[in-house]
Chains A and B, each alone.
Chain A
Amino acid sequence: DAGITQSPRHKVTETGTPVTLRCHQTENHRYMYWYRQDPGHGLRLIHYSYGVKDTDKGEVSDGYSVSRSKTEDFLLTLESATSSQTSVYFCAISGEGGFTEAFFGQGTRLTVV
């Protein structure tokens, strides 16, 4: 199994509070991604990173920020959580883009109440 772990696995938080999710890899892969998964929408890209300190927005980036200060860690922050951000969040890693396989973490279930 690819070395990718997400923490926490489950979290309940209150509306308006900041939340940070962590993705840690041991594969030294260049690319890291954060997705959210909601019924009927599949996986939607929030932000991605193509190297240390190199990040870019995805399809649904509003209300989210990311940071990557080390190759192995990619943090997703909800600046002020809202109920619409209740979702399952997945982190993924891959080598050079194109034909390479993406490996996923086991997901973080976030509930904003």
Chain B
Amino acid sequence: TQLLEQSPQFLSIQEGENLTVYCNSSSVFSSLQWYRQEPGEGPVLLVTVVTGGEVKKLKRLTFQFGDARKDSSLHITAAQPGDTGLYLCAVYNNNDMRFGAGTRLTVKP
């Protein structure tokens, strides 16, 4: 069983549509991070959420940390082809850092 479960695994949408991806766990975390990875590159940090119920916005991306700090969501408004990539959630687990399996998003023009 993975520490972090991400859904959906794959998502293909048209440009302009809205979407939400999820990161869930049965464990409580002090913080959670979202990364985006493009083909041939390493992941790059998008945001860190810390407080239960916290909402952070990054342009068209809205991140929410669940009240119980066990889950998080990423909502993209009016998706663009440049949003295409693998979205990964991650947490620090004691001294190490663990990732979910990711949501692979494709935005078609």
| A residues adjacent to B (C-beta < 8 A) | 31, 33, 35, 40-45, 48, 50, 56, 58-59, 90, 92, 94, 97-99, 101-107
Contacts and interface: CB of A to CB of B under 8 A. Distances in A.
A45 B98 CA distance: 7
Q: Is the interface of A mostly helix, strand, loop or mixed?
A: strand
Contacts, number: 67
Contact of B96 (A40, A48, A104): A48
A8 B88 CA distance: 25
Contacts of A33: 96-97
B9 interface: yes
Interface of B: 6, 9, 30-31, 33, 35, 40-45, 48, 50, 86, 88, 90, 92, 95-102
A59 B3 CA distance: 10
Nearest to B94: A97
A44 B92 CA distance: 13
B6 to A, nearest CB: 8
